Structure 1
Amino acid sequence: MDEDVEEMDRDRLVAEVLALRAAIRTHRDSSGHDLCWHHPDLWSLLPEQVEPAIAVPPWPQFLRGCVAYRQSLERQAPGAPTHAAEYDA
């Protein structure tokens, strides 16, 4: 799947690493409501360009997952400031 990496010259490898690092930083630096979204622009950096076959849970299960995610943030980042802004579509 990643055979293309072995064929890249140094300049192409450096460019690839820089692009991946930038995308990871963008994802890492997400905050507030942006934490709730999937990140197709991150996935687009993979060489295999496929349409992700996502499955969306029904609302009750989805909302329980959101609550569980928020609870995990409470455990993993207890000192994080809160972001009280309403979501603005």
Structure 2
Amino acid sequence: MDDDLEAMTREQLIAEVKALREGIRRHRDCSKHELCWHHPNLWGLLPDPSDPIPVVPEWPEFIRGCIRYRQSLDEQAPSAPRTDEPYEE
């Protein structure tokens, strides 16, 4: 799957690592409502020719997942700042 790495020069490998790190940082630094979004740009950093279409749960299950995700933030990051800033498109 990652055979392309074998043919890369040191400089190309360094550039690849920097691009991957930047993509991971952009994803990591998502905050507020951005946390809930689909992130195909992150997957686009992979060389695999793929544009995955997610399986989307029906609304009741989707909302239960959102609630569970938010609860996990309370458990895993209890001292993270909170906001009541509304979502804006």
The interval holding the TM-score normalised by the smaller chain is: over 0.9
TM-score (norm 2): 0.96
Q: Residues 29-40 of structure 1: matches in 2 within 5 Å? A: 29-40=29-40
Q: Which amino acid aligns with 1:79?
A: S
Cα deviations by residue, 1:19-45 (Å, 9 ceiling, x for unpaired): 000011111111000000121111001
Aligned length: 89
What are the ranges of 5 or more consecutive residues in structure 1 without an aligned counterpart? none
Distance of 1:51 and 1:29 partners within structure 2: 23
Residue 87 of structure 1: CA displacement?
A: 1.0
CA–CA separation in structure 2 for the residues paired with 1:45 and 1:63: 29
Gap regions ≥5 residues in structure 2: none
In 2: Cα distance, 1:49 partner to 1:84 partner: 39
Shift of 1:83: 2.3
Partner letter of residue 78 of structure 1?
P
Q: Which residue of 2 aligns with 1:14?
A: 14
Structure 1 segments of 4+ aligned residues over 6 angstroms from their partners? none
Deviation at 1:49, TM superposition (A): 1.9
Counting only pairs closer than 5 Å after superposition, residues 7-86 of structure 1 correspond to structure 2 as 7-86=7-86
Q: Which amino acid aligns with 1:56?
A: V
Could you tell me how far apart the structure 2 residues matched to 1:26 and 1:53 are? 21
